[in-house]
Each structure stands twice: as structure tokens, then as C-alpha cells.
């Protein structure tokens, strides 16, 4: 995942090449980096299924879940400056070691939501209800592995405002289906066309969902096929690779439920 690997040194990549690994990348930027170091890589760009429930537009209503210190309410306020915003929903649930920044007491039009969890077994409906009440989404992290939170917002037709870094800038074309900002020199974004950006974002997800579905057989084939060096070890390593392919598929199905139609993967013996 890009968010966990972007700082890896050239020496680290070369060490991985010696292991004769195969890597599935959900970031085009990471995929290109890995290929430069001679590591076998498959690029798969994930898209969720477009939501049947599309947000209402009107005036901008902003949803921001603070997860990290670097993207906090003062920064979001700077991004929104000069725009006529009807409401801001702030979710107080930062990642471990990060601290939520409270708005000033005299700031109006802000709803703070606390004690909302979206982990397995808790009411996901509450989170989706909050998303449905807004139409602009502030991507909560500087870098993503995939970016499930902002992709879910795009799938609902929200205008996503995100840092001009992977993976946000691999899905969002600035001013067309969302808005990107430079986190080092953040300035106000223009929400004038936010509704059109939101509609195009949902259309992008709808097209991407079809592409993602079409890519699944090739990805499973990539998992199942041994590399050149692994083929030389004969049927035992091949059996291990088949078992690994099954395990990886089960893990992918767990992360992305309801995505896989029955698929047959042919493994060369």
C-alpha cells in the first residue's frame, strides 16, 4: 500500500527484489516505483459499486473526519475560506496518537459528532447517514493505500477535496470530478462547481466499478502464476502458490465483499 511504502529507500526496494516477490499495487505511483526496481507488480485500481443513494446538492455541506494531525479543522477552515458553506460536520475520531482540534466556541454552523465507530459489528448506518446529509467530503489523510473513505464519498456523488498526493490524485482530476490542494501551500478551494464535480465523481466510480470487475480474473491469474524462479522448484512450490492464491483471494473477498463472481483460475502444471 502506498501510504505504508512511500518512504522505503532504494536499498529497501533492491532487498525486496532479491526475494523474488510478486506485488499487487492499488496505487499506480507505487506500481511504477516497484517496476523501476525490477519487482514483478500488478496494478489494480479499486472502485466501489456506485451508491444508489445520491446526495442532495443546494449549498455546500461539508463532512470532515479528522484522522491525522496534519489535516485538522484549521486547515479545513483555510480550504473553505471564501465559500458560502451551509454546514460543516466534524467527526471527532482521530487515529491513535493523533489529537482532534476543536473549533472555536464562537464558530457557527458546525456539528461535532463524537463516539461514532464504523468498525465491524457497529452501526455503519449512522456513518452513512452523516455522509448523506453532506455533499462535500474532505479526504482525511495525506496519503492513502486505497482510499476507501473518499471513494465511498465519490460513489455517493460527493465532491471530494483531497491532498494532491496518491491515491487521491489517481482518482480525482482537479476541477473536473473533485478538488485537489497542495498540503505544503494550502489555499482556499473554489466550491462554485462542487455539484457538477460530485456528479462527475459518481460517474467516474460507475465506470471504474466496471473496469475493476473486468480486472479481477487477471489479478487472480497473477496471484496463482509462479514467477520464473519459483517454477524451477517444481510441483511443491506450485502447490504452495495455489494455496497462497486461495488465501489471498479469501482475504480480498473479506476486504471487498460481494465483488467476486465465480472465477476459474488456470494454473500451469
Give strand pairing partners of 62: 88, 136
Extract the C-alpha cell encoding 216.
479481477
Count of beta carbons in the 10 Å neighbourhood of residue 36: 11
User: Would you say residue 33 has pLDDT above 90?
Assistant: no
CATH (one of 2.70.170.10, 3.40.50.2000, 3.40.50.300, 3.40.50.1000) for 61-207: 3.40.50.2000
pTM of the model: 0.80
Continuous segment of H or E residues that includes residue 198: helix 194-224
pLDDT in tens, 236-253: 333 333 344 455 556 556
CA angle centred on 254, ends 261 and 211, rounded to 5°: 45
Domain boundaries, the chain: 1-43, 61-207, 225-269
* pLDDT for 16: 77
The answer to whether the beta carbons of residues 55 and 156 sit under 8 Å apart is yes
Give strand pairing partners of 89: 63, 111
The answer to whether the beta carbons of residues 185 and 163 sit under 8 Å apart is no
Which residue has better confidence, 23 or 124? 23
Spell out the residues 6+ positions from residue 89 whose beta carbon is closer than 8 angstroms to its own: 61, 62, 63, 64, 110, 111, 113, 130, 133, 134
Count of beta carbons in the 10 Å neighbourhood of residue 161: 26
Count of beta carbons in the 10 Å neighbourhood of residue 22: 16
pLDDT in tens, 104-138: 988 888 999 887 655 544 457 788 888 889 999 99
Extract the C-alpha cell encoding 200.
462527475
What is the percent of the chain where pLDDT is above 90? 55
Amino acid at each position: 500500500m502506498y501510504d505504508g511504502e512511500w518512504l522505503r529507500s532504494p536499498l529497501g526496494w533492491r532487498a525486496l527484489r532479491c526475494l523474488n516477490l510478486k506485488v499487487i499495487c492499488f496505487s499506480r505511483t507505487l506500481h511504477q516505483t516497484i517496476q523501476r526496481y525490477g519487482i514483478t507488480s500488478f496494478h489494480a485500481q479499486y472502485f466501489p459499486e456506485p451508491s444508489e443513494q445520491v446526495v442532495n446538492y443546494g449549498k455546500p455541506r461539508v463532512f470532515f473526519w479528522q484522522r491525522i494531525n496534519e489535516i485538522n479543522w484549521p486547515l479545513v477552515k483555510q480550504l473553505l475560506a471564501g465559500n458560502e458553506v451551509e454546514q460543516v460536520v466534524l467527526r471527532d475520531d482521530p487515529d491513535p496518537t493523533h489529537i482532534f482540534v476543536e473549533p472555536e466556541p464562537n464558530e457557527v454552523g458546525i456539528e461535532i459528532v463524537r463516539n461514532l465507530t464504523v468498525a465491524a459489528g457497529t452501526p455503519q448506518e449512522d456513518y452513512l447517514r452523516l455522509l448523506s446529509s453532506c455533499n462535500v467530503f474532505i479526504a482525511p489523510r495525506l496519503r492513502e493505500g486505497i482510499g476507501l473513505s473518499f471513494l465511498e464519498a465519490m460513489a455517493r456523488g460527493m465532491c471530494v477535496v483531497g491532498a494532491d498526493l496518491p491515491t487521491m490524485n489517481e482518482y480525482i482530476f482537479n476541477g473536473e470530478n473533485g478538488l485537489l490542494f497542495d498540503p505544503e501551500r494550502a489555499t482556499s478551494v473554489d466550491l462554485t462547481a462542487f455539484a457538477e464535480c460530485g456528479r462527475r465523481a459518481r460517474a467516474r466510480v460507475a465506470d471504474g466499478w466496471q473496469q475493476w470487475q473486468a480486472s479481477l480474473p487477471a489479478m487472480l491469474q497473477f496471484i496463482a502464476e509462479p514467477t520464473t524462479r519459483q517454477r524451477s522448484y517444481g510441483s511443491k512450490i506450485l502447490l504452495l502458490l495455489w494455496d497462497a492464491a486461495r488465501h489471498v483471494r479469501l482475504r480480498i473477498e473479506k476486504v471487498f465483499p460481494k465483488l467476486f463472481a465465480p472465477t476459474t483460475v488456470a494454473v500451469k502444471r
